Amino acid sequence: MPKTFYITTPIYYPSDNLHLGHCYTTVAADALARYKRLQGFEVMFLTGTDEHGQKIEAKALSVGSTPKEYVDEIVASIQKLWAKLNISFDRFVRTTDDYHVQSVQAIFKKLYENGDIYKGNYTGKYCQPCETFLTDYQLVNGKCPDCNREVIDFSEEAYFFKLSKYQKQLQEFFNSAPDFISPPSRKNEMLKNFMELGLEDVCVSRTSISWGIPVDFNTKHTVYVWIDALSNYISALGFANDKYDDFEKFWPCDLHLVGKEIMRFHAIIWPAMLLSLGLPLPKKIFGHGWLLFDGDKMSKSKGNIVDPIKLCDLYGVDAIRYFLLREMPFGDDGLFSNSALITRINTNLANDLGNLVSRTTTMAFKYFDGLLPEEKAFEENTLREVCKAAIREMEQFMDDLNPPRALGEIWKVVNAANRYVDETAPWALAKDPTQNSKLAGVLYNLLEVLRVISVLITPIMPESAAKIQKQLNLPEHLCTWESAKIWGQTPSSNPLNKGDILFPRIEK
Ligand SMILES: [Zn+2]
């Protein structure tokens, strides 16, 4: 039985302006999924869309569509974006899918039958012109955050989930699994802002919102969107539905990767639901920071949205993936600016890596017509040792969910290889026919280091890795994670292919 790895992103709210900040979570999860697959894990990488709720209903109405027609169109555009970014998800869940609806109804009923859901009254505010229900927390100066008008009080029958009942059990769990909420700064926020104040029961149904999943034993109620959304992590494995049968295999989840703004739902409400259902809790919840644009969170109202499709068309998908994972300190907020992006592309990608590939293969063609002789000399182990150390460190950083440091390790290899070219000066060796086998040895080492680099960058830059591997004419078994750990596996006379420049320089 292969080892399994189950990783999720949040399911996204269908919005027509997904920006680079949204892409960050998904690209990071994709890199981790690819990394685990490369290591031989059987991976389940889940993403999807969260399609119910009052806002969707209102938006659809405003453009004269049904909610389902409205979301169908946006979901298609989100899937197109993930295809553009090379996101290798294994499953895409939509909360309007029949099997998900079936699971959510079963989950709600189970929570109710366990005595953890009871009927009560929900009170809040309502903006009549916007037809929007609001909580006190959402109001801006006591007024509607969208239209700035006065709001009115309202009250309606609703079901509540006994979150307070799980306070002690959750606290015990957090103590027994110290890494469950990561990084530690997020854990402190959760403890301080919620646990220490005492957990309050949460409203889990509404009667005034129709675009949602009906409570099957009382159909005038619809299930609150967060209960609906969180359930996707098990509905998509086939929990309480007939569509899939992967729950035993992949649950508990290895990693829920989320943005810090939705940490509370994942770190407190979701585990409490699972405790009530009698299911094991996920192994880890990681809350990453925001991608800031000139120090501000990206949002439509601030007009500072960076369109990821445009960026990919301009600079290449791998360059964008590389930038996001290199520049965002995992866990903290990161900064986006065009000049930082261009600097990264020109230095790390064009100068360091692109140039290494280009000058190595150019020399192999110039001196040996792309086919090194069997006879080679100049055995030395500098690069081999550098690779060995970098792989060991990189594994640690990837497992710690720290892609910037993992990439830093790969670039130690790239830099060592560039130094090696300068120190061995193959162009000088080429002038002396007696140095021919030494020249072949030097070029062999460089091609072998490129093989290792191509494997290591696969999770982050899959297209570029494949391009390098095509130039090196590598069979699949020389491109696995394990094969990268063993130096000297490529046959000496492995014919090379010519290729294009990997990362063109960007003129500012
Ligand atoms: Zn309003």
Crossing angle of the two packed helices 317-327 and 462-471, in degrees rounded to 10: 120
Is the peptide bond between 252 and the residue preceding it cis, with omega within 30 degrees of 0?
A: yes
In terms of Cα–Cα distance, which of 484, 492, 349 is closest to 414? 349
State the DSSP string of 392-405.
HHHHHHHHTT-HHH
Q: What local confidence, expressed as pLDDT, does residue 296 receive?
A: 66
Could you tell me the distance, in angstroms and rounded to a whole number, from the CA of residue 209 to the centre of ligand 1? Answer: 16
Could you tell me the distance, in angstroms and rounded to a whole number, from the CA of residue 62 to the centre of ligand 1? Answer: 14
Q: What local confidence, expressed as pLDDT, does residue 300 receive?
A: 60
Distance (Å, whole) CA 156 – CA 138: 18
Non-local (6+) Cβ contacts of 169 within 8 A are 272, 275
Non-local (6+) Cβ contacts of 268 within 8 A are 163, 170, 190, 194, 195, 199
Could you tell me the distance, in angstroms and rounded to a whole number, from the CA of residue 60 to the centre of ligand 1? Answer: 17
Distance (Å, whole) CA 205 – CA 505: 54
- The kind and range of the H/E element at 44 are strand 42-49
Could you tell me the distance, in angstroms and rounded to a whole number, from the CA of residue 508 to the centre of ligand 1? Answer: 44
**Residue carrying structure tokens 């670039």:** 411
**Residue carrying structure tokens 């100068």:** 351
Cβ neighbours, 10 Å, residue 36: 25
CA distances from 440 to 355, 365, 419, 431 (A): 20, 12, 18, 13
Could you tell me the distance, in angstroms and rounded to a whole number, from the CA of residue 126 to the centre of ligand 1? Answer: 8
Could you tell me the distance, in angstroms and rounded to a whole number, from the CA of residue 151 to the centre of ligand 1? Answer: 8
Could you tell me the distance, in angstroms and rounded to a whole number, from the CA of residue 169 to the centre of ligand 1? Answer: 40
Could you tell me the distance, in angstroms and rounded to a whole number, from the CA of residue 119 to the centre of ligand 1? Answer: 28
Could you tell me the distance, in angstroms and rounded to a whole number, from the CA of residue 153 to the centre of ligand 1? Answer: 13
**How far is C-alpha 223 from the chain's CA centre?**
27
Could you tell me the distance, in angstroms and rounded to a whole number, from the CA of residue 142 to the centre of ligand 1? Answer: 11
**Residue carrying structure tokens 């790969």:** 410
Could you tell me the distance, in angstroms and rounded to a whole number, from the CA of residue 148 to the centre of ligand 1? Answer: 6
Could you tell me the distance, in angstroms and rounded to a whole number, from the CA of residue 138 to the centre of ligand 1? Answer: 11
Stated pTM of the model: 0.94
Q: What local confidence, expressed as pLDDT, does residue 177 receive?
A: 94
> Residue 16 in contact with residue 74, Cβ under 8 Å?
yes
Could you tell me the distance, in angstroms and rounded to a whole number, from the CA of residue 141 to the centre of ligand 1? Answer: 13
Distance (Å, whole) CA 311 – CA 330: 22
Amino acid at 384: R
State the DSSP string of 258-308.
EEGGGHHIIIIIHHHHHHHHT-PPPS-EEEE--EEETTEE--TTTT----H
Could you tell me the distance, in angstroms and rounded to a whole number, from the CA of residue 241 to the centre of ligand 1? Answer: 39
Could you tell me the distance, in angstroms and rounded to a whole number, from the CA of residue 124 to the centre of ligand 1? Answer: 14
Could you tell me the distance, in angstroms and rounded to a whole number, from the CA of residue 229 to the centre of ligand 1? Answer: 25
Low-confidence ranges of the chain (pLDDT < 50): none
Distance (Å, whole) CA 71 – CA 383: 52
Q: What local confidence, expressed as pLDDT, does residue 214 receive?
A: 97
Could you tell me the distance, in angstroms and rounded to a whole number, from the CA of residue 33 to the centre of ligand 1? Answer: 42
> Residue 174 in contact with residue 193, Cβ under 8 Å?
no
Could you tell me the distance, in angstroms and rounded to a whole number, from the CA of residue 65 to the centre of ligand 1? Answer: 21
Amino acid at 109: K
Q: What local confidence, expressed as pLDDT, does residue 49 receive?
A: 96
Q: What local confidence, expressed as pLDDT, does residue 145 receive?
A: 84
Non-local (6+) Cβ contacts of 44 within 8 A are 4, 5, 6, 7, 90, 91, 237, 246, 249, 250
CA distances from 19 to 23, 124, 299 (A): 7, 31, 8
Could you tell me the distance, in angstroms and rounded to a whole number, from the CA of residue 77 to the centre of ligand 1? Answer: 28
Could you tell me the distance, in angstroms and rounded to a whole number, from the CA of residue 307 to the centre of ligand 1? Answer: 28
pLDDT in tens, 303-361: 666 788 989 999 999 999 999 999 988 778 888 888 899 999 999 999 999 999 999 99
Could you tell me the distance, in angstroms and rounded to a whole number, from the CA of residue 74 to the centre of ligand 1? Answer: 24
**Residue carrying structure tokens 């099997």:** 99
Could you tell me the distance, in angstroms and rounded to a whole number, from the CA of residue 131 to the centre of ligand 1? Answer: 7
Could you tell me the distance, in angstroms and rounded to a whole number, from the CA of residue 252 to the centre of ligand 1? Answer: 41
State the DSSP string of 482-501.
HHHTSTT-S-TT--------
Distance (Å, whole) CA 75 – CA 14: 6
Could you tell me the distance, in angstroms and rounded to a whole number, from the CA of residue 132 to the centre of ligand 1? Answer: 7
Could you tell me the distance, in angstroms and rounded to a whole number, from the CA of residue 125 to the centre of ligand 1? Answer: 11
Indicate the pairing of strand 202-203 with strand 4-12.
unpaired
Q: What local confidence, expressed as pLDDT, does residue 16 receive?
A: 65
Residue 177 is given by DSSP the state: -
Which residues are in the CB-under-5-Å shell of ion ligand 1?
Answer: 127, 130, 144, 146-147
pLDDT in tens, 62-87: 999 999 999 999 999 999 999 999 99
Q: What local confidence, expressed as pLDDT, does residue 163 receive?
A: 96
Kindly report the three-state secondary structure assignment for every residue of 122-178.
EEEEEECCCCEEECHHHCECCECCCCCCECEEEEEEEEEECHHHHHHHHHHHHHHCC
Cβ neighbours, 10 Å, residue 415: 15
Burial of 121 (0-12, 13-18, 19+ CB in 10 A): exposed
Indicate if the alpha-carbon torsion angle 326, 328, 329, 335 is positive or negative. positive
Kindly report the three-state secondary structure assignment for every residue of 468-486.
HHHHCCCCHHHCCHHHHCC
Q: What local confidence, expressed as pLDDT, does residue 34 receive?
A: 98
Identify any residues that bridge with 222 across adjacent strands, giving them in sequence order.
Answer: 206, 214
Q: What local confidence, expressed as pLDDT, does residue 301 receive?
A: 63
Non-local (6+) Cβ contacts of 173 within 8 A are 180, 271, 275, 281
